[in-house]
A and B are shown apart, each in its own frame.
Chain A
Amino acid sequence: MAEKNKILLQGNEACVLGAIRAGMKFYAGYPITPSSEIAEKAAELLPKHGGKFIQMEDEIAGIACAIGGSLAGLKSMTATSGPGFSLKQENLGYACIAEIPLVVVNIMRMGPSTGLPTSPAQGDLMQAKWGTHGDHPVICYYPSSVREMYEYTIKAFNMAEKFRTPVLVMTDEVIAHMRAGVEIPEEVEIIDRKKPEWGKSYLPFKVTDGEEIAPLAAFGSGFRFHVTGLAHDEMGFPSNNPLRNDEMIRHICAKVDKCNDEIVESAEHFTDDAEVLFVACGSVARTALYVVKQMRSEGVKAGLLIPKTVWPFPEKALKALSSRIHKIIVPEMNMGQLVYEVERIVKGDSTVTLLEKVTGELFKTEEMYNKAMAVIKQ
C-alpha cells in the first residue's frame, strides 16, 4: 500500500514549492512553454512568502535580474526552456566568474530554435555543460519524478549557496507537466550563504590555500566591493595579472570539482547481477525501468543506472558497473549526447549502443523494449 497524506502536484509546481521551502525570495524570468507554470506559481506564491516576482522583457533580462537579486542577498531563481536557455548562456558565465549563487531551471523541449514548444526532448544536456564559454564548474540536477523536482530544487539552492555558483535544475517536458502524489518531507536541510563579519577586512574574491569559499556580502549592506564579468582581483576589480588569472579560474573550478563525490547522485535498479545496463535520465529512465522489469520477467538480466546529477556525471558508479557489465544501452530523446559521456567513462570496457529518438515524444515502452532486445541479441 502506498503512503498516505500525499498531495497531487505537477512537476513545475513541485519545483516552485521546493524553491520556496529552500528560501527563494526572488524570481525574475520570462515565461516560456513548457516551463511557464513555474513563473505562474512563483508569481502566485512568492508575495505570500515575503518574496518578490518580476516578469522581465526577455530571457536575458530574466537571468540578469535574478543575478542582481541574489547579489542583493536574496535567494533567486529563473526558469526557462531551450530558446531561453540559449539566451541565458552569457549571464550563466557571468554568475560563474562573479561567483553568484543562483538557480536556473531549464525544462527541455525539442529544438533547435523554437522547435516543438510542447514536446519533450533531452537536447540540452551538453549545452548545460558547455553552453557558456570558458572554464567553469557545472552542477546540473535532472529530476525524474515530481517528488524529485521538489527535492532537487531545494538541493540546487543549497549547492548554489554553498559553492557561490549557479546551479541548474533540468528536466524534460514529461516530468515538468505530469502530476503525481508527493509527500512533502517534514524536515529538509537548508544551506544559507556565508556572510562576512563586520569590522574585519572583506575580500569577496579571496582565494585561500584551503580553497575555502569567501563569504558573500549582500550588495548595499555596507560592504564595498566590485562585481564584474572580467577577470578580477580579490576586491572584484578588473585584473589581468597572469598569476591571479590562473588562481581565479582554478579556484572557481576546484571549489566544486573537489566536492564532486558529495554532489554526485545516481540511482541503480537491478544492477547487482545485471548483464545488460541501461543508462537513462528523466522520463526516459522511467520507460527504461518499465522495460528492465519486463526483461527481468522474461529472464533477461537487465539493470538501470539513472544519473540524478548529469553534471557532474556519476563517473565512479558507471565505471564500477562497466567493469563487469559489458553491454550498455543509452536511450535518449536526442541524436546522442549522454552517450558521449558514457563512452568517455567506460573507455572501451563495454560496447555502448545509443537508442536515439527525435520525434518529440517520450520513448514508448514497447518501442524501447524492441530496440533494446535487438541490441541484446546481437
Chain B
Amino acid sequence: MSERIEFRLSGSGGQGIITAGIVLASAALYDGKNAIQSQSYGPEARGGASKAEVVISDSFIDYPKATIPNYVLCLTKEAYRAYGENANEDITVMADSSIEIPEGKKALTAPIIETAAKEFRPMVANTIALGFIVGCTGVVSQESVIKALLERVPKGTEELNEKALYKGFEFADTVMGR
C-alpha cells in the first residue's frame, strides 16, 4: 500500500480543480501507471468548495479515494480551512501564496492565482497549479502531463495552457531549490 500516491486538490467551483485532477490521472496512464480520479458532487460543487482526488500507483488500486493524502492542494482560504489546516505532518500542503499558513507547517507555496490573473488569464490557475504539483512531486513525467493537458483543454487555449504549465514547473524549481 505504500506505493499509493494520493492527491486531494481543492479550491472553489469554476477554478478547474476537477479538470486538473482528470489531467493528472490521464498523465499517469500515459506513464504506464494506474490512476483513479474522483470528485465532489452536489450542491457543494457549484460555486462553493470543489474537490478532486487522484490516486496513482504502479499496481492495482483497490480503495478508489484518498485515505490520508500525500499531497493536498489548496487554492483558496476556504479550501485550506477544509482540507489543509488539519493536515497532519505526513501530508504536504501545496497552497496559493495568498493563503496564510502558520510557521512550522509543512507547505509548498507559489503565487498561482496572482500569476494566472496578471501574466495569463485567471482560468489557467488550475494549469499553473498542475505544473507546480508535477514539478514538485515528479509523480508523472512532464512529457505525459503536457500530452494529457493538451488533449483536455478547450481548442484555441493550448498555447496559453502550455505556457501556464511551464510557469508551474518554474515555481516548483524555485521552491525545490533547483
Contact = CB atoms under 8 A, between A and B. Distances in A.
Contacts, number: 70
Interface string A117-149: 111000000000000000000000000000000
Nearest to A286: B62
B156 to A, nearest CB: 21
B67 A365 contact: yes
B41 A34 contact: yes
Contacts of A177: 38-39, 41
Nearest to A8: B26
Given A6-B29, A8-B25, A178 B37 contact: yes
Contacts of A33: 41
B67 A366 contact: yes
Contacts of A3: 32
Contacts of A181: 25, 29, 34-35
Nearest to A287: B63
B64 interface: yes
Contacts of B59: 2
Given A1-B58, A286-B63, A365-B63, A8 B39 contact: no
Nearest to B42: A118
A365 B67 CA distance: 7
A179 B33 contact: no
Contacts of A179: 22, 25, 36-38
B22 A290 contact: no
Of B37, B41, B59, most buried by chain A (CB within 10 Å of CB) is B41
A36 B133 CA distance: 32
B65 interface: yes
A344 interface: no
A177 B52 CA distance: 12
B62 A290 contact: yes
A174 B36 CA distance: 11
A4 interface: yes
Contacts of A289: 62-63
Given A180-B36, A283-B64, A293 B41 contact: no
Given A178-B64, A179-B38, A2 B26 contact: no
A34 B45 CA distance: 14
A286 B65 CA distance: 10
Interface string B136-168: 000000000000000000000000000000000
Contacts of A286: 62-64
B67 A2 contact: no
19 contacts: A2-B34, A6-B29, A8-B22, A8-B26, A8-B35, A34-B41, A117-B42, A174-B64, A177-B41, A178-B36, A179-B36, A179-B37, A283-B64, A286-B62, A286-B63, A290-B1, A293-B1, A293-B62, A365-B63
Given A286-B63, A287-B63, A364-B67, 5 more contacts: A4-B32, A6-B29, A290-B1, A293-B1, A365-B67
Closest 8 pairs (CB-CB, A-B): A118-B42, A118-B41, A290-B63, A289-B62, A179-B37, A181-B29, A290-B62, A8-B26
Interface of B: 1, 22, 25-26, 29, 32-39, 41-42, 58-59, 61-65, 67
